[in-house]
Amino acid sequence: MFFLLWVALLFSVSGSSADTGGSEKRQTHCYHGFCIILYEAEITAEAGLCVVIPCSFNTSSGFTTEHMVWYKCERKRRCGDSDVIFHTNKNNKKVRPQFEGRVSLLQPDVSQNNCSIIINDLTVSDSGSYQLRVNGFRYKESGGSWNEVPEGFTFSLRPTVSVKDLIQKPTVLIPPLTEGQQTTLTCTAPGLCSGSDPTITWRWKGTEVNNSHITGNITAQNHSSTLTFNPSAELHGTNVTCKVSFTGDTTTEETVTLNVTYSKEIKVTGHTSVMEGETLNLTCSVESFPPSLITWTKLSEKNLQNGTEINMQNETLSDLQNDTETYLQADRGMSTFSIYNMTVEDSGEYICTAKHLNNTLMKRVDVTVKYMKKPVITGNTTVEVGRALNLTCSVESFPPSHITWTKLGSTTDLHNEPNTDLQDDAGSATLVIHSVTAEHSGQYICTAKHLETTVTVFADVTVMSFPKISNFECKIQTEVLTCVCISDGLPVPTIKWPLLRNYTDYTVINTVSNHTVNCTVTLTVKDHSNTAAECVSSNANGEVKKNLTIQKVETKPEPEEWFEDLFKTVSWLQLILAFLVGVFLSAVICCLAMKCRRRKQNKSSGKRDETLEMVTSQEDPLIDASHAETEKGEAVAAENAAPDLNVGPKDVEYASIDFSVLKRKSPRKTHETTETEYAEIMKKAKEEKEDNGGEEGEALEGKEEEEVIGEDGETKHSVPEEEEGEEVAVYSNVKDIMAEN
């Protein structure tokens, strides 16, 4: 078995030498029965390795080989004992020190006539010629006995060895590497030599394996070394170096690159949330070896509704590529998917599938389209007083918008308003105002903020109520009918008077304040017994009617009531003017009264049947043309005049005096009449009062506040401004002066 091993080694080395150009021509040289067979040509070897000089020999008959001796010497000179490099006799001390232990026989049994030697740990100095000598003995008869006679033979045929620098590299065996599966690398030194074992080291990424982050077990056997470790994805593409160091500082190394089969997780890059109208770009990549095949798919709505897993054949990107809005760029280990002009319908779940060898990996991503539609306000914007206002502002958007309610012109937060509730929800906000009032009418603003966009919409809220008549009255005074109707409602109601259809001359005054209307109508009615007063208040919600009761007001109001009405109907400027006129007239009356008293004292009693006649100026008639029935110059009796002492009271005559004429009269205009007959009546009345003890003159004195005698003797009547334009009846009971005349 050992022999077969050395033969295999011999032939392998010979094959190696043949590969390097060594001659394979076998040479045989014989002399006196001694023959040697070897390679005569130069044998090429590399430093640090070993060289085998293969040979065999034959000896003459009777010669017994005992030892073999190898020499190294120059070809042209004879080798001597100083050139011995190998001797089968271990006790021989003539072996050159530099070859000691480096040379050995491939076949230790010399009787086998195999002279092949192996020289280990070659150096360049080992180059040269080598020669073989065979030492033995023969049996010769001498003196009748056979004796061993030493004998030796040196073969003249010399093999030549040429040692060059080492160029061979170690052999690194790398099995298939798979991540997570333990594997072993084997490094074999060049040259199958039986000499000293070389030193084999491993380097990983430029550092010694023992000092690196890779945990490996190294074992060495003869001229080989193994490294056992667990491959990982991080080791893919890294370099591993096997270094072999021989005796004499001769080194060689081999570097190999590791290819680890692995596959990492799928990565999807790109923005999965885009604005509507923008472009979606998604890239799916898988770090793996060998590269994975990547495809894109989209989960269809049909599968979503059925709740089933997506079928890879159902909807693939190759189908979507027919759409001009879709673009797919695929590569081994990476695929980019793009959709232009994104719409809401493009939202959904997209799937990246990576197929690596027999494994399939999937990665799902949810693509959302950010969008915002116009806010919509729902709810009834018209609400009755006391009811609840309920408005909801909603916005269809992604992500949901933030919605707030405000009121135009109001600085108060609606959250702080009484009877107000604000309910916020994703994408909507509800405004509830309980028991609304008229003040809640106005414009309400819904503000929706979506990302960096703000949109507002408005709702005009109208609070309405049915019209309601809160106050009403009708009064008639001196044939002047005044009706007042007060009504409130939302919208502000309008007031109509059906009684006005029978009249053409009337006055209507409307005053509006805070949804309340005050309507006053004034007209002249001679006979109010057939007059029906009705107030009709109406707005968009309906109408209400009210029949008014007509109240008759006395002609002569009390002083307190007169002044109260005066202050209600005239402005402060008119009041001041009336006050000044009153002061002036009072002064005039006082002066006239004093003058009359002096005249009374100086004038004697005259006839009481003197005809009294009241004459009015032609330019300033006081008697209303519509009521006067006498011709110009007809006597006008003063109200409450004293009765005739002799005859007794006559029938009362009525005079309708229009005092509005006084207002149009110029105060500067003078009259030719120096003293009116009405003044004479006053004097006669006073005299009768004195004669009768003042009983019959009281009625006349009651009129002094309304009658004024001017400096020119003309009688003037003071009339309040509120009664201007009305017909005031003045009742007088006088004597039948005209008859006496």
Could you say which of 258, 289, 322 is where a domain stops? 258
Q: Is residue 163 within 8 Å of residue 47, measured between CB atoms?
A: yes
Dump pLDDT digits (tens) for 662-708. Answer: 444 334 433 334 444 445 555 555 555 555 444 443 333 333 333 33
In a domain, 502, yes or no: no
Residues 37 and 102 in one domain: yes
d(CA 432, CA 418): 11
Residues 207 and 159 in one domain: no
Residues 246 and 323 in one domain: no
> Per-residue confidence at 94, pLDDT binned at 50, 70, 90?
confident
Q: How many CB atoms lie within 10 A of CB 209?
A: 20
Q: What is the pLDDT of residue 242?
A: 92
Query: Is the peptide bond prior to 643 cis by the omega test (within 30 degrees of 0)?
Result: no
* Count of domains forming the chain: 4
Q: What is the pLDDT of residue 621?
A: 38
Question: In this model, does residue 211 exceed pLDDT 50?
Answer: no
> Range of 673's domain?
606-740
CATH number at residue 314: 2.60.40.10
Which comes out higher in pLDDT, residue 661 or 274? Answer: 274
- Give the list of residues 6+ apart from residue 613 with CB closer than 8 angstroms, or none: 633, 635, 677, 737, 738, 741
Cα-flanking dihedrals φ and ψ of residue 683, to 5°? Answer: -65, -45
Three-state secondary-structure class, residue 301: helix
In a domain, 406, yes or no: no
Q: What is the pLDDT of residue 360?
A: 92
Q: What is the pLDDT of residue 685?
A: 55
Residues 186 and 285 in one domain: no
Which comes out higher in pLDDT, residue 741 or 170? Answer: 170
Residue 59 DSSP class: -
Question: In this model, does residue 161 exceed pLDDT 60?
Answer: yes
Q: Is residue 45 within 8 Å of residue 19, measured between CB atoms?
A: no
Closest CA to 735 of 616, 653, 679: 653
Q: What is the pLDDT of residue 680?
A: 56
Query: Is the peptide bond prior to 399 cis by the omega test (within 30 degrees of 0)?
Result: yes
d(CA 681, CA 732): 12
Query: Is the peptide bond prior to 175 cis by the omega test (within 30 degrees of 0)?
Result: no
Task: For residue 491, count CB atoms less than 10 angstroms from its CB and return exposed for 0-12, middle for 13-18, buried for 19 or more.
Answer: middle
Q: What is the pLDDT of residue 687?
A: 58
Could you say which of 211, 240, 258 is where a domain stops? 258
Which comes out higher in pLDDT, residue 553 or 373? Answer: 373
d(CA 547, CA 473): 9
Structure tokens given for 308: 């089933």
Q: What is the pLDDT of residue 195?
A: 66
Structure tokens given for 731: 């009742």
In a domain, 367, yes or no: yes
Residues 158 and 42 in one domain: yes
Q: What is the mean pLDDT of residues 634-651?
A: 36
Q: What is the 3-state secondary structure (H, E, C) of 448-500?
A: EEECCEEEEEEEEEEEEEEEEEEEEEEEEECCEEEEEEEEEEECCCEEECHHH
In a domain, 436, yes or no: no
Question: In this model, does residue 660 exceed pLDDT 60?
Answer: no
Which comes out higher in pLDDT, residue 143 or 302? Answer: 143
Question: In this model, does residue 419 exceed pLDDT 70?
Answer: yes
d(CA 152, CA 132): 11
- Give this prediction's pTM: 0.48
Dump pLDDT digits (tens) for 339-367. Answer: 999 999 999 999 999 999 989 999 999 99
